[in-house]
Amino acid sequence: MSSRANAATRKLTTAARTAAQSVIAERGGIGVAVGFYVIVVSVLSGLWRVAAHANGGRLAGYSAVAITWYIATTECAVVSLNIRMIDDIGRDIGSGAVAVELLRPASVVAVRVATEVGRALPRLTALAVAAVVVASLEAGAPPRPVTLLLAYPSLVLAIAVNIVAQHAFAAAAFWLRDAGSTWFLYQKLVFILGGMLIPLEALPGWLHGAANALPWRAMAYVPARLASGHLEPVLLLEQVAWLVALGAIAAAIFGAGQRRLQVVGG
């Protein structure tokens, strides 16, 4: 690796580490996230377990135990992140606050993504522990424990893909001046097409097909599919592919937006 690439990696690692340390220092936030997570998982997985039992023990190919681990994992992937990230990024762009970041000797979008990943990791780890506890207590042992070894790295990739995609979405604010409430819509795409609320196998055929072709399933469904006992390592490759593709898109849009911002700023 060249010394320039090394320096860039060091800068991003420092940004991620600093963000992680600030989240760890402010423990109240993690506590609230875990409390919220436990409530959400208990409710949603309870609903699906009742439904599975009412349908002869299986639903859309998932047993009551498997679907509990599925829901515990999808929620873990989503609750780890700042739900209004798109709104926050859009506000920074719209207000011009992002201009200050252009002065740094590093890519704005790369530093922002590294910071958000760093911020999410302590939460993700705490929630992953909570997921194991809640799912074990409510449904029992994981259907295939070995898949959990793939589920954690998959969760890390899931939040990385999600963060990068949110930056690509929010960069529209360079032109629109505001990402407004689009975070609402984005979240709903994760809810349904990402498989957060409902396993993709339970969707009607046409919607299932559409969801399989879109990136949102890499943000929730993939780690959940693994944690629910499906040993499908190829899913990790799919996440890496989406990460690279969305990263390139986010960098291109941010790059174009930054040039426009410089023109507007005179």
The residues that touch another protein, with contacts defined as CB under 8 A, are: 28-29, 31-32, 35-36, 39-40, 42-43, 46-47, 50-51, 54-55, 59-60, 180-182, 184-185, 188, 191-192, 197-198, 202-204
Min CB(64)–another protein separation in Å: 13
Q: Cα separation of 83 and 68, whole Å?
A: 23
If the CB atoms of residues 180 and 255 are measured against another protein, the closer one turns out to be 180
- Do the Cβ atoms of 193 and 217 come closer than 8 Å? yes
**Positive or negative: CA dihedral 61, 236, 208, 67:** positive
Least separation in angstroms between residue 10's CB and another protein is 34
Q: Which residues contact 213 (CB under 8 A, 6 or more apart)?
A: none
**Pick 144 or 208: Cβ nearer another protein:** 208
Q: Are 64 and 139 in contact (CB under 8 A)?
A: yes
Using the structure block, give the residue that is written with the tokens 């209004």.
Answer: 84
CB of 221 to another protein, least distance (A): 15
Nearer to another protein, 29 or 255 (CB): 29
CB of 51 to another protein, least distance (A): 4
* CA 155 to chain CA centroid, nearest Å: 8
* Pick 13 or 212: Cβ nearer another protein: 212
